[in-house]
Amino acid sequence: QVQLVESGGGLVQAGGSLRLSCAASGSISSINAMGWYRQAPGKQRVLVATITTGGNTNYADSVKGRFTISRDNTKNTVYLQMNPLKPEDTAVYYCNLNRGGIIYWGKGTLVTVSS
């Protein structure tokens, strides 16, 4: 089994920044990629950013140039630096891990951006 624990969410004013972290533990050999998704109230969960073991990244158009995903393979941790934040970034952010085609999810961390 794989466990993912997110942290770093909170309330911030528009234009501010937050850094999310997601630590993976358990059976985490052969990880293909990790990433972040978000789900705003009343909407579907959507991709924010992903990063492969080799460091290749992919971003949703809505966050390109504002968010940066990174990972520390020695700590099995993925980060999401978010700056500047907009009110439309308000959502629950979920960490995601792909291990051999099997997808695991964290429980999510709430990010609220006030205008």
Tens of pLDDT, residue by residue over 4-31, are 999 999 999 999 999 999 999 887 776 7
- Residue 96 has a pLDDT of 94
Q: How far apart are CA 93 and CA 1, in angstroms?
A: 21
- Residue 32 has a pLDDT of 73
Distances (CA, A) of 6 to 25, 31, 45, 104, 115: 12, 17, 16, 13, 25
- Comparing C-alpha atoms, which of 25, 14, 33, 32 is closest to residue 113? 14
At 41, the amino acid letter reads P
